[in-house]
């Protein structure tokens, strides 16, 4: 299923309604269904947003075989668009897209080496730091937000345009992290180290401190067995935990 020459290299998002109709006629070979797309007024951006139920509900395509064919084609289109994005991104960051390509060309033979890669995620979707807006696809427009409903990474300008529409203005968008993968990884590691150290410190505090109750003040106090000093405040490292789980 190849694209008509006039649509090659044109991002799906910027297809007009007529472009979509041309795609239905030439690529899908379903000239009969052109009126369905035309009357639904589906342009490229809308096409990209369609979900499976829309094929019947919005496009009014009821025949089972056609429904399947149209939906598969839309999925493929979305996928190839995403792949193009990934390749573009890889070129920019020095090329790591090989993994996916290798996997598909090596089917049956040796299992392609699984590269245990980390990546940044937002709303359970992975993305690369500094990627271009997937809507306008201009290289200098860096994606700043992710919309779960549109499934797009948008630059600030596109976000304003896309979500101006009444139908979309209530979409929840997530601001992308200002950390790249390395910095984010370091932060996670540092936090895990912090948790580990705090656990050790708490155990040590329980060995050094003892807790007693002062009936006159109706408060607990803490006795440091090592220094022989007394304090009203709980050792800081315990945070919300108690020195002892029971009252003394
Ligand atoms: Zn944009
Ligand atoms: Zn949205």
Residue appearing with tokens 């998002």: 13
- The answer to the question of residue 108 being in a domain is no
Centre of ligand 1 to C-alpha 171, Å, is 17
Mean pLDDT of all residues in 183-208: 93
Evaluate whether residue 111 is within a structural domain: no
pTM above 0.85, yes or no: no
pLDDT at 100: 43
What is the CB neighbour count within 10 angstroms for residue 199?
Answer: 11
| Lowest-pLDDT range of 7-16, 135-144, 171-180, 234-243 | 7-16
Which listed ligand is nearest to 133 at the C-alpha? 1
pLDDT tens profile 34-89: 999 888 888 887 887 778 888 888 888 888 888 888 888 888 877 777 667 666 66
pLDDT higher than threshold 60 for residue 108: no
Say which residue, 82 or 123, is predicted with more confidence.
123
Nearest Cα neighbor of 89 from 116, 126, 124, 34 is 126
Averaged pLDDT, 130-142: 92
Using the structure block, give the residue that is written with the tokens 């992308």.
Answer: 176
pLDDT of residue 170: 94
The last residue of one of the domains, among 178, 210, 225, is: 178
Within-domain flag for 107: no
3-class secondary structure, 209: strand
Of 22-36, 39-53, 125-139, the one with minimum mean pLDDT is 39-53
Give a yes or no: residue 112 inside a domain.
no
Ligand nearest to the CA of 123: 2
For strand 152-154 and strand 173-175, is the pairing parallel, antiparallel, or unpaired? unpaired
Q: Count how many domains the chain has.
A: 3
d(CA 133, CA 160): 13
Residue 56, Cβ neighbours under 10 Å: how many? 16
- pLDDT digits over 201-223, tens only? 999 999 999 999 999 999 999 99
Measured in degrees and rounded to the nearest 5, phi and psi for residue 13 equal -60, -30
* Average pLDDT value over all residues in the chain: 84
Counting ligands in written order, which one lies closest to the CA of residue 174? 2
pLDDT for the residue 162: 93
In terms of residue numbers, what domain contains 221?
A: 182-238
Grouping H, G, I as helix, E, B as strand and the rest as coil, residue 157 is helix
Check residues 192 and 45 and name the one with the higher pLDDT.
Answer: 192
Residues 6+ apart with CB under 8 A from 76: 1
Compute the chain's Rg from CA coordinates: 29
Instruction: Kindly give the distance from the C-alpha atom of residue 145 to the centroid of ligand 2, in angstroms, as a whole number.
Output: 10
- Return the CATH number at 78: 1.10.150.50
């Amino acid at each position: 299923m190849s694209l008509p020459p006039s649509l090659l290299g044109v991002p799906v998002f910027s297809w007009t309604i007529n472009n979509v109709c041309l795609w239905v006629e030439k690529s899908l070979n379903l000239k009969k269904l052109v009126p369905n797309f035309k009357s639904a007024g589906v342009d490229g951006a809308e096409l990209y947003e369609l979900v499976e139920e829309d094929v019947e509900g919005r496009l009014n395509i009821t025949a089972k075989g056609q429904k399947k064919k149209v939906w598969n084609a839309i999925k493929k289109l979305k996928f190839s668009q995403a792949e193009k994005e990934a390749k573009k991104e890889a070129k920019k960051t020095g090329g790591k897209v090989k993994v996916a390509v290798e996997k598909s060309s090596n089917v049956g033979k040796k299992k392609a080496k699984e590269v245990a890669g980390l990546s940044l995620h937002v709303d359970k979707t992975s993305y690369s730091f500094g990627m271009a807006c997937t809507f306008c696809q201009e290289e200098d427009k860096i994606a700043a937000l992710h919309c779960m409903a549109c499934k797009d990474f948008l630059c600030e300008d596109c976000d304003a345009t896309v979500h101006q529409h009444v139908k979309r203005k209530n979409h929840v968008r997530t601001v992308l992290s200002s950390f790249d993968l390395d910095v984010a990884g370091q932060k996670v590691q540092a936090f895990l180290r912090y948790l580990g150290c705090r656990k050790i410190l708490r155990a040590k505090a329980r060995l050094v401190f003892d807790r007693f109750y002062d009936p006159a003040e109706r408060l607990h106090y803490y006795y440091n067995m090592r220094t022989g000093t007394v304090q009203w405040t709980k050792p800081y490292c315990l945070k919300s935990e108690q020195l002892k789980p029971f009252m003394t």
